[in-house]
Structure 1
Amino acid sequence: MATVGTDRTAVTVIGLGLMGRALAGAFAAAGHPTTVWNRTPGKAAELIASGVREARTAADAVSAGSLLIVCVRDYDAVREILAPVRGALSGRVLLNLTSGASDEARALAGWAGEHGAGYLDGAIMMTPPGIGAPDTVILYGGSPDLFAEHEQTLRVLGGGTTHLSADAGIPSLYDVALLGIMWGTFNSFMHSLALVGTENVAATEFLPFATSWLGGVASFMSTYAQQIDKGEYLAADATLETQLPPIGHLVHESHARGVDATIPEYTKALIEKSIAQGHALDSYARIIEHFRPAAR
């Protein structure tokens, strides 16, 4: 695709929330001719001061860039913005960095292709202040050739740029799966702080123990992942039957201190169910079978 007054790709960023502004700022700082557009005006002032051009219309924005980055509220918003200007998409590459589900990404990839546009989908695993950092991870899916063509441009946004699959839906799948780990960890952290807080232990006092323990917990994940891939759950650390009493202690302690016990009770029920099915001597990796679709 042609560029404008430079050997760097001309980029358009549609959507100027906190993330959109961070994306546009990173491209401009790296010397890419950058055009922005937002449905609600008035969000581009700082970007304009740094040399970014603000398009008057969505059509103008699409025409200005060979690489179109959309980062808006949801996939419905992407369609609402691009459908009226779909005729201008032909020959351009659409990179959608809007959060959503894998089926939405696949559908949008098909829609873009129908209108002559190349398509990449991405999941940003970082908050706006981290855009451009060497360790910022952004996961991409879609045409490997298109990704290779634009990889250097995309590395402006984060050093952890990774192409996962030709399937445009895979980044969204990874995104929600990783967020599930985050929220699960956060909730368990809050539960632990509520427990120790009943003895007036400050959250900051307990924090070093929690973060150190997370490192230990992470060390188990490699073994479990290998067991799950093999479908063999022979315990190398602790059996399910040995884990049942400790989780019972956690449930008891939570009730005794008036702390919500939903999380440990759920875990206890999972272990009990697996033991009842004859898997008392298996590792915790066996619990994957509860979550798999075939187990429902």
Structure 2
Amino acid sequence: MTYANNSPIPITVLGLGAMGQALAGAFLDAGHPTTVWNRSTGKGEQLVARGAVRASSAEEAVRAGELVVVCLVDYDASDKVLTPLAGALAGRVLINLGSDIPQRAREAAAWAKEHSLDYLDGAVMVPVGVVGTERALVLYAGERAVFDRCGSALKAIGEPAAFLGEDHGLAAAYDMAMLDFFYGAMGGLVHAFALARAEGIDGAALAPYLNTIAGILPDIVERTGADVHSRVYEGSGANLAMMTASVEHILHTTKGRGLDTGQLVAIKAAAERAIAAGHGPDSWSSIVEVLDER
């Protein structure tokens, strides 16, 4: 997204938390004239020193950019900022990179459509230190034509910019699913270290062995995704009943050491529901069939 003379377009960033500052910094690094605004004062001095323009109001900031990127804590916050600015946003591309649930993203898209605004919803899937690098995964959803208008500018914060589809809730849905995996894994990770410590094992000594588990996860993710898509759960190598017995052993050890058992109890309960539904001979992936409680 450039001017006719191929100069980088002006971009506005609303919200200067750690992620907002990282986004604005990446746009500056790519040569985009960048205007910034934050609800509270005292943030963004380094960006201004690098050439960003600090707007005195959200409306002033919006009118300075062709691409307006919002990065606030959630959609309650962004709604408060954006609702009075529908007129100022006309003719610009609005992208919300804050975090919230898919339904809120769809509601924001409906508001934008009501006001004839070009809108994309997005999710930044990396820490602030990775923004602006080739390892920065940023997801987008919305009208393809709108994405195509600004896709080149968006590569400044993460390349490739990943377009998921025209349902505005898709970026948030991917975000929730990926973070579901991440936080579940992180819960298991710290619990493993707690169990090791209770057994007198130093964390640093365990870490290299845990990394062997982490190393097999990519293949497991691919295989599980294929199983869930096909709904075929071949379990000849390691079936659910056998693996649930292992969970029971971990749970017994955990209880014996007086550690929290919440996550393990939940895992075992889901596995036992799947076994009761006839999935004992199937793979661990078959648990997905009993997780929908509607």
TM-score category, normalised to shorter length? over 0.9
Task: State the number of aligned residues.
Answer: 294
Q: Cα distance 1:5–1:44, how it changes in 2: closer, same or farther (>3 A)?
A: farther
Provide the aligned C-alpha RMSD in A.
1.8
Q: Deviations over 1:1-20 (max 9, x none)?
A: 88599711110011111111
Q: Which residue of structure 1 aligns with residue 111 of structure 2? A: 111
Measure, in 2, the Cα distance between the counterparts of 1:134 and 1:255: 44
Q: Partner residue of 1:238?
A: 238
Change (3 A) 1:239 1:217: same
Describe how 1:186-197 pairs up with structure 2 within 5 A. 186-197=186-197
**How far 1:188 moved relative to its partner?**
0.6
Match of 1:173 in 2: 173
Question: Which consecutive residues of structure 1, in runs of 5 or more, have no partner in the other structure?
Answer: none
Corresponding letter in the other structure for 2:203: A
Residue type of the alignment partner of 1:87: G
| Cα offset, 1:195, TM superposition | 0.9
Cα offset, 1:267, TM superposition: 2.0
Residues 237-285 of structure 1, C-alpha deviation per residue, up to 9 Å, x if partnerless? 2112222321221111111222222222222222222222222211111
Q: Does structure 2 retain, via aligned residues, the 8 Å contact 1:102–1:169?
A: yes
Q: Aligned partners of 2:80, 2:267: CA distance in 1, in Å? A: 43
For residues 1-296 of structure 1, the aligned pairs below 5 Å read 3=3, 7-293=7-293, 296=294
Q: d(CA) in 1 for partners of 2:191 and 2:47? A: 42
Percent identity, aligned pairs only, is 37
Deviations 1:10-55 (A, max 9, x none): 1001111111111111111111011111111221221111111111
- Label 1:3 to 1:36 Cα distance change in 2 as closer, same or farther (>3 A): farther
Amino acid across the alignment from 1:226: A
Equivalents in 1 of 2:278, 2:95: separation in Å?
49
> Which range moves more in the overlay, 255-264 or 180-189?
255-264
Give the Cα–Cα distance (whole angstroms) in 1 for the partners of residues 108 and 4 of structure 2: 28
Question: How many Å apart are 1:286 and its aligned residue?
Answer: 1.1
| Structure 2: runs of 5+ lacking an equivalent | none
Residue identity matched to 2:84 = P
Residues 192, 110 of structure 1: CA spacing in aligned structure 2 closer, same or farther, 3 A cutoff? same
Which deviates more, 132-141 or 159-168?
Answer: 159-168
Q: Which moved more, 1:243-252 or 1:60-69?
A: 243-252
Quick one: distance in 2 between partners of 1:221 and 1:236?
18
Does the Cα contact within 8 Å between 1:4 and 1:10 map onto a contact in 2? no
1:101 alignment partner AA: I
- Cα contact 1:120–1:142 (8 A) shared by 2: yes
1:157 shift after superposition: 0.3
Is the Cα contact below 8 Å between 1:89 and 1:116 reproduced in 2? no
TM-superposed deviation, 1:154? 0.4
Distance (Å, rounded) in 2 between the aligned partners of 1:245 and 1:128: 41
* Segment drifting more, 104-113 vs 210-219: 210-219
Contact 2:236–2:281 (CA under 8 A) maintained in structure 1? no
